[in-house]
């Protein structure tokens, strides 16, 4: 029986074809996903926008709740398997804990927020609302499951396929070389060197790709945070970040935004505000929310999932004739989240997975050469 190269290649690429069909089947299913009760889409995908909307209702009248003081909190309750995280070669904020929280005042009792949840896993949206119309506070918890981005899965599969094929080719070439331990020939040194170089090339390839992927965002420079101000048309907006040192990826930072009259220093009252956090490096809006600011101030906490340059985009407008804000106010405040070095444990896990794929590919390549030789001798 002769060695059939075409059959060998078909068997080699068959798993790739099967995985590809499954992946694109999932993509078609996600494309037709229906709108959920509170979320659009119902099961959001990490790194993609999701719209959250919730209308607070007065239990006694069954009408929309008015003049509601709302505490909104988003927390990650369960992370993915750590080995699965390594497959994406990104050390994002894969832990659990607080992601976002804000205290706001809503005249119409309607909570609206556009957000990007960076990591796949389980989240809980907690709402605590009080109002003069309520006899007791309203507490609501909404579970949210965030799925793995299809693009991330495809990139991971392609990466491991490249490593596997490179190792298989190296093993195939190494298997065709003469065995230096069977006889003492003049090609001993060249054979050993060729085999080692081919194997090391695959190791370097996998390690380089892993290092580049794990070091995502390391271009961002680190600068201490200071109170930032925008002044226009007699109004001064000031943003303070606590702690007053560079905020760290994955750890919640406290933001305080206030509006004052530039001349008197008195708080601006009666503001209808919209806030957006923009990720400059990836061209993404991390979240957008609206709130009323009766006393010209608002505070929120946010855990940055990535090291990058960010902008807090502000739009403020008077919410009534009694407002001391005379005209709409728009501004942008920029700051940076400095880079962090990937943990040694994460790099070791990534290296182990890649090394397994590397050895498997190399072994299959060598076995293919030996099978060819045995068929030829037969």
Among 147, 171, 202, which residue terminates a domain?
Answer: 147
Structure tokens given for 359? 């050895």
Do 111 and 166 belong to one domain?
no
Which pLDDT belongs to residue 45?
Answer: 83
Query: Residue 349: what are its φ and ψ, rounded to 5°?
Result: -60, -45
Which residues lie across from 271 on neighbouring strands?
Answer: 293, 318
Do 285 and 372 belong to one domain?
no
Which pLDDT belongs to residue 211?
Answer: 43
Which residues lie across from 291 on neighbouring strands?
Answer: 273
Do 328 and 361 belong to one domain?
no
Q: Count structural domains, the chain.
A: 3
The CA–CA distances, whole Å, from 296 to 109, 265, 324 equal: 19, 12, 10
Do 12 and 156 belong to one domain?
yes
Q: Does 256 reside within a domain?
A: yes
Q: Does 31 reside within a domain?
A: no
Q: How far apart are CA 122 and CA 80, in angstroms?
A: 9
Length of the chain in terms of residues written: 378
Do 61 and 113 belong to one domain?
yes
Which pLDDT belongs to residue 284?
Answer: 87
Place of tokens 């949206």: 125
Do 287 and 325 belong to one domain?
yes
Which pLDDT belongs to residue 288?
Answer: 92
Do 325 and 234 belong to one domain?
yes
Which pLDDT belongs to residue 84?
Answer: 54
Which pLDDT belongs to residue 213?
Answer: 38
Which pLDDT belongs to residue 313?
Answer: 93
Pairing of strands 97-106, 252-261: unpaired
Q: Yes or no: say if 192 and 179 are a contact pair by the CB < 8 Å rule.
A: no
Residue 8 burial (C-beta neighbours within 10 Å; 0-12, 13-18, 19+):
middle
Do 207 and 273 belong to one domain?
no
Q: Does 42 reside within a domain?
A: no
Among 124, 147, 170, which residue terminates a domain?
Answer: 147
Q: Does 29 reside within a domain?
A: no
Give every residue of the chain whose pLDDT is below 70, as ranges.
1-37, 81-95, 177-226, 243-247, 340-347, 369-378
Do 235 and 294 belong to one domain?
yes
Do 143 and 156 belong to one domain?
no
Among 126, 147, 168, which residue terminates a domain?
Answer: 147
In tens, the pLDDT along 187-241 reads 555 555 555 555 555 555 555 444 443 333 333 333 445 678 889 888 999 988 8
Q: Does 222 reside within a domain?
A: no
Q: Does 341 reside within a domain?
A: no
Q: Does 52 reside within a domain?
A: no
Q: Does 175 reside within a domain?
A: yes
In tens, the pLDDT along 2-56 reads 555 566 666 666 666 666 666 666 555 554 455 566 777 777 888 788 889 999 9
Do 274 and 248 belong to one domain?
yes
Which pLDDT belongs to residue 32?
Answer: 46
Q: Which domain holds residue 318?
A: 228-336
Which pLDDT belongs to residue 328?
Answer: 92
Do 72 and 130 belong to one domain?
yes
Q: How far apart are CA 342 and CA 253, in angstroms?
A: 20
For residue 230, the 8-state DSSP code is: E
Q: In this structure, what CATH number is given to the domain that contains residue 282?
A: 2.60.40.1940
């Amino acid at each position: 029986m002769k060695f059939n190269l075409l059959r060998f290649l078909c068997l080699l690429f068959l798993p790739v074809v099967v995985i590809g069909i499954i992946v694109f089947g999932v993509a078609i299913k996600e494309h037709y996903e229906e709108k959920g009760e509170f979320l659009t889409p119902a099961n959001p995908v990490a790194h993609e926008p999701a719209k959250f909307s919730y209308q607070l209702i007065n239990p006694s009248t069954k009408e929309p709740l008015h003049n509601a003081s709302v505490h909104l909190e988003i927390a990650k309750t369960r992370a993915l398997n750590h080995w699965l995280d390594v497959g994406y070669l990104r050390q994002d904020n894969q832990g659990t804990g607080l992601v976002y929280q804000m205290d706001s005042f809503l005249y119409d009792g309607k909570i609206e927020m556009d957000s990007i949840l960076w990591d796949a896993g389980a989240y809980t949206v907690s709402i605590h609302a009080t109002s003069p119309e309520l006899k007791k506070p309203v507490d609501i918890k909404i579970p949210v499951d965030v799925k793995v981005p299809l693009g991330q899965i495809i990139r991971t599969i392609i990466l491991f396929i490249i490593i596997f094929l490179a190792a298989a080719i190296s093993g195939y070439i190494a298997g065709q070389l003469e065995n230096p331990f069977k006889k003492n020939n003049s090609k001993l040194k060249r054979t050993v060197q060729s085999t080692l170089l081919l194997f090391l090339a695959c190791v370097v390839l996998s390690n380089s790709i892993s290092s580049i992927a794990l070091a995502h965002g390391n271009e961002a420079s680190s600068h201490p945070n200071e109170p930032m101000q925008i002044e226009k048309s007699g109004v001064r907006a000031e943003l303070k970040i606590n702690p007053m040192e560079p905020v760290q990826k994955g750890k919640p930072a406290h933001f305080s935004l206030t509006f004052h009259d530039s001349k008197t220093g008195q708080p601006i009252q009666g503001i209808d505000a919209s806030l957006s956090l923009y990720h400059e490096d990836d061209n993404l809006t991390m979240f957008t929310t609206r709130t009323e600011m009766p006393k010209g101030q608002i505070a929120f906490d946010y855990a940055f999932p990535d090291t990058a340059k960010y902008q807090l985009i502000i739009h403020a407008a008077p919410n009534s004739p009694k407002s001391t804000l005379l005209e709409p106010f728009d501004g942008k405040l920029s700051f940076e989240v400095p880079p962090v070095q990937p943990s040694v444990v994460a790099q070791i896990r990534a290296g182990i997975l890649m090394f397994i794929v590397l050895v498997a590919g190399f072994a299959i390549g060598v076995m293919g050469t030996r099978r060819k030789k045995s068929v030829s001798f037969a």
